[in-house]
Structure 1
Amino acid sequence: MKKSVVILAAGFGTRMNSNLAKPLHTICGKSLIKIIVENALKLADDVTLILHHQAENIKEHLKDFNNLNYIYQDMTNHKGTGGALISYEPKNDEVLILNADMPLITLKSLEIIANTKADIVLSTFNKFEKNAYGRVIKENNKITKIVETKDANDEELKCTLCNAGIYKMSKNVLKTYIPKLNNNNAQKEYYITDVIKMAIDDGLMLCECVFDELEFLGINNKLDLELAENIMQDRIKNELLINGVIMHNKSSIFIELDCEISNDCEIESGVVIKANSKIKNSKILANSIIENSIIENSSIGPMARIRPKCVIKESKIGNFVECKNAKLEEVKAGHLAYLGDCEISSGVNIGCGVIICNYDGKAKHISKIGKNVFVGSNANLIAPISIPDDTLIAAGSTISNKDAKKLVAKDLFLERSKGVIFNNFKDF
């Protein structure tokens, strides 16, 4: 049966102590709301977000998703989880209700909830220490109600079965009971949990799914955010290790969501790999950073920085080398170089201290270096520039494209200020 998904994202998130809306905070390189939305779209063809605080900022953040619906919650008259659903009209007969601040719930668990047959499916977990979660109250092993912590009496607070806050309900349940909600409680809010009590009293079928507590960690403050990121990091790295990636000092490595790292890659301590990077059959040495780039059959680092839009294949990039928007194939850059906005062909050696001067103060320019070129230490290549194959640039040279146009195969350029050009290596 087709499902609808509604995501509750209207809250103010005051405990975050931030000017940024809570759903826009990130873990492992991705916002909380995007993590939830991506899972929702794998489950349903009808996804709606309930917004209020910083609604336009959230919509702008999600603009690449062109198949989302939005509703604005009236926080003056209809506060609370039940109030959020007063104007909601699902397209399909079954509705999965999610929260924008619970990024750790797995797709597998959501599928279990979505595919369980009942009028209402309730997600729960056991927590034995004192906590602020709503309690799931049972009599004769049957759920009779859910009580919010601030409304619970001492006996109810002893209950260890907690409401996880994710539900599946039929469209008919929402249509019947949401209009009957009231806000006669300590918070003066409309609770979706009151729907469950009314449905139970009317004899509807209720099913409970028990999960691990960590999947339902809600993000209320920056401490929760950091904890959630650590949990997600363990998931990411454990999966990679099981699939054959080698890691040294796993706890010091940081890998964002949406990275692809093939088996037999080796990652040393202190490495950071950011979202959308793809690494195949390569070794990433200590304290290197890779951002949104492709690395194949290469060695990177130690202490190298590969900035976005790099494609590096069959190459060795050493310590303190920075690359940005660089396409390198069979290139050696051992140390202390900046290779920005460039295409470098096979057999090229980049000496220590080489700088590609890609920015003229107004715009970035592309540099192209042909095959089998040797660029000596402390050379400056002023973009835009094109260096022909089989050229040797002597140490300390600074050349522009005007100089480079004088070069032919097997030329050597020495000291731009004197303009000395040798026509052949043997002449030198």
Structure 2
Amino acid sequence: MNLSNISIVILAAGKGSRMKSNKAKVLHEISGKPMLYHIIKASKELSNDVSVVIAHQKEKVQESMQKYFDDITFVEQDTTNFPGTGGAMKNVTPKNEKVLVLNGDMPLISAESLQGFLHNDADIIMSIFDLENPNGYGRVVIDKNEVQYIVEQKDANQAELNVTTVNAGIYAFKKSVLNTYIPQLSNDNAQQEYYLTDVIAMAKKDALTIAPLLVDEEHFKGVNSKKDLAESEMIMQERIKTKWMEAGVIMQLPETIYIEDDVVFEGECRIENGCRITGNSQIINSEIKAHSVVEDSILKNSDVGPLAHIRPASMITDTHIGNFVEVKKSTLKGVKAGHLSYLGDSEIDEGTNIGAGTITCNYDGVKKYKTKIGKNVFVGSDSQLVAPITIADDVMIAAGTTVTSGEIESGNLVLSRTKIRLVKDFYYKFFGKIHKKI
């Protein structure tokens, strides 16, 4: 595909008041990434000239996208003097002869769904839906496979109201069309805005060709509310999980599983119900059991859960992590941690067993410190390892021990317990003889 045949402009300047949020609409997330990210990602598969028009919270929008893309152009819209979709195109200078105009609130668009705009030589290509119930949409009147005009519902007569074809909001223009008609746009309307759709009427008057392109509603679904956001999330999740199941990942009750866009699976993997896998996680030949969370971590030849929490920057290899175990920013290789433990800022080597109730005390209220545990270490239940600490190979730590020494040498048993004290008949003395009778 020749990426220099088309320029893409993404309109991302609006406030999105119906979202009822202080956050710019295009920064609301779908499967772990802002909506705008998904649109730019699809656009870059088709074009090497991608522009994003910004205005509302422009600094935040630009900063957010520059984390992911370093070769897109940001164009600031003068919303005071030139509001509206037509005004958004005033300062855009596309490089290529065909210009595809997308909306920043359509995160389900894919490169495949835009192919129809690339292979048509009409002066304008206009996307359309056919809806069973078009109420609320402007109608698109088509004759002989050409768009004749667009009419808003409030302005439509009965015959026009019976039309079920509506505007999907995406257009491809020849650059010459934009150069001719954008300067001619007027804001002489109720909203006092400059509308890109007015280009359609002017071009039709000059006998230019305006081709309709029927698109599927799923890919071109706009997000205007939190409800739309949730619906789009479900569609995106279905796509992500379908891709990985087709690649061989086993998912139990996939509708209950959440997987973000950058997660990667390799080899034989199994994901049970209720799991959440986020960030740049890599799951390699591993099993994640029910209701576990894996965040921005790598699992290789391991099993996790149920009800485990693997927090960011963890590397877990050849390891068993059981229920109610939390791991954070740690490297575990060949380890068994069966249940009820917290392992933070740790390096733990192969053959080591972590008993129930073990915690690494990695934070003193000011700084965080590392715990290093060697090979074949047996850590008894309910142990506290106060970092910074290094435990060499072949060490036993007795149950209930608090280890505070900075370095434990190989072969040692570590034991710290208060001597047990028995007070005869204390229970009966405390509660009274009535308990003894019972």
Aligned counterparts of 1:337 and 1:254: Cα–Cα separation in 2: 24
Q: Any idea what the Cα deviations from partners look like across 1:246-298, whole Å, max 9, x if unmatched?
A: 11122211111111123531111111111211111111111000111111111
Q: Is residue 151–residue 185 contact of structure 1 (8 Å, CA) maintained in 2?
A: no
Alignment of structure 1 residues 69-108 onto 2, 5 Å = 69-108=73-112
- Counterpart of 2:217 (choices 208, 213, 217) is 213
1:300-379 correspondence runs (5 A): 300-379=304-383
Which stretch of structure 1 is more off in the superposition, 162-171 or 179-188?
A: 179-188
Other-structure match for 1:239: 243
- 2:15 alignment partner in structure 1: 12
Where 1:228 maps in the other structure, the secondary structure is helix
Question: CA distance change for structure 1 residues 324 and 360 in 2, over 3 Å: closer, same or farther?
Answer: same
1:170 maps to a residue whose letter is K
Deviation at 1:107, TM superposition (A): 1.7
The answer as to whether partners of 2:146 and 2:209 remain within 8 angstroms in 1 is no
The worse-fitting range, judged by mean Cα deviation, of 189-198 and 147-156 is 147-156
* Letter of the structure 2 residue corresponding to residue 264 of structure 1: E
What is the alpha-carbon distance in structure 1 between the residues aligned to residue 30 and residue 283 of structure 2?
21
2:159 is matched with: 155
Identify the range of structure 1 (106-115 vs 77-86) with the bigger mean alpha-carbon deviation: 106-115
Aligned-partner Cα distance in 2 for 1:216–1:341: 44
Compared CA separation, residues 327 and 76, structure 1 to 2 (3 A): same
What is the DSSP-based 3-state SS (H/G/I as helix, E as strand, rest coil) of the residue aligned with 2:45?
helix
Q: Residue 40 of structure 1 corresponds to which residue in structure 2?
A: 43
Count of equivalent residues: 415
2:298 to 294, 304, 311: 294
Distance (whole Å) between structure 1 residues aligned to residue 15 and residue 153 of structure 2: 20
The CA deviation at 1:401 is: 4.1
Answer with 193-202 or 95-104: which moved more.
193-202
CA distance in 1 between counterparts of 2:202 and 2:21 reads 38
User: For residue 410 of structure 1, what is the amino acid of its counterpart?
Assistant: G
The more displaced of 129-138 and 92-101 is 129-138
One-letter amino acid matched to 1:31: P
Instruction: Report the more deviating stretch, 295-304 or 83-92.
Output: 83-92
Residues 123 and 209 of structure 1 are in contact (CA less than 8 Å); yes or no, is this contact kept in structure 2?
yes
TM-fit CA distance, 1:208: 2.7
1:182 aligned partner: 186
Matched, 1:170 2:174: yes
Supply the distance in 2 between the matched residues of 1:72 and 1:151 (Cα, whole angstroms): 32
Match of 2:427 in 1: none
Encode CA deviations 1:219-244: one digit per residue, 9 max, x unaligned: 11111111111111111112222222
- Counterpart of 2:141 (choices 134, 137, 143) is 137
Decide whether the 8 Å contact of 2:400 with 2:417 is kept in 1. no
Task: State the match for 2:410 in structure 1.
Answer: 409
Q: Structure 2 length as normaliser, TM-score? A: 0.90
More divergent stretch after superposition (407-416 vs 93-102): 407-416
Instruction: Note if contact 2:134-2:165 (Cα within 8 Å) is conserved in structure 1.
Output: no
The 2-side partners of 1:278 and 1:115 are apart by 38
Please give the secondary structure, in 1, of the residue aligned with 2:329. strand
- AA at the equivalent of 1:295: L
Stretch moving more, 356-365 or 57-66: 57-66
Q: CA RMSD in A?
A: 1.8
The residue that corresponds to 1:426 in the other structure is none
Q: Please say if residues 317 and 333 of structure 2, whose CA atoms lie closer than 8 Å, have aligned partners that are also in contact.
A: yes
Query: Relative to structure 1, is the Cα distance of residues 115 and 25 closer, same or farther in structure 2, using a 3 angstrom cutoff?
Result: same
Q: Which amino acid aligns with 2:227?
A: L
Deviation track 1:83-118 (CA, whole Å, cap 9, x = no partner) reads: 111121112222111111000111211233234333
- Residues 116 and 397 of structure 1: is their aligned pair in 2 closer, same or farther, counting only changes over 3 Å? farther
Asked whether the equivalents of residues 28 and 34 of structure 2 are also in contact (C-alpha less than 8 Å), the reply is: yes
State the Cα distance separating 1:150 from its structure 2 match: 4.1
Letter in 1 for 2:167: N
Which whole-Å CA distance do the structure 1 matches of 2:230 and 2:244 have between them?
21
Q: Distance in 2 between matches of 1:382 and 1:114?
A: 62
Matches for 1:29-68 after TM superposition, within 5 Å: 29-64=32-67, 65-68=69-72
Identify unmatched segments of 5+ residues in structure 2: 420-438
Per the alignment, do residues 133 and 263 of structure 1 end up closer, same or farther by CA in structure 2, a change over 3 Å counting? farther
Larger displacement relative to structure 2 (297-306 or 212-221): 212-221
The change in CA–CA distance for 1:184 and 1:238 in structure 2 (over 3 A counts) is: same
- Cα offset for 1:148? 3.4
Runs of 4+ in 1 over 4 A off after TM superposition: none
Distance in 2 separating the partners of 1:264 and 1:146? 53
Which moved further from structure 2: 298-307 or 205-214? Answer: 205-214
Preserved CA contact (<8 Å) 1:4 1:45: yes
Pair 1:255-2:259 in alignment: yes
Bigger mean CA offset, 169-178 vs 393-402: 393-402
Mark the structure with the bigger radius of gyration: 2
> Deviations for 1:339-392, whole angstroms, at most 9, x for unmatched residues?
111111111100001101111111111211111111111111111111101111
3-state SS of 1:215 partner? coil
- Give matches, 1:273-292, under 5 Å: 273-292=277-296
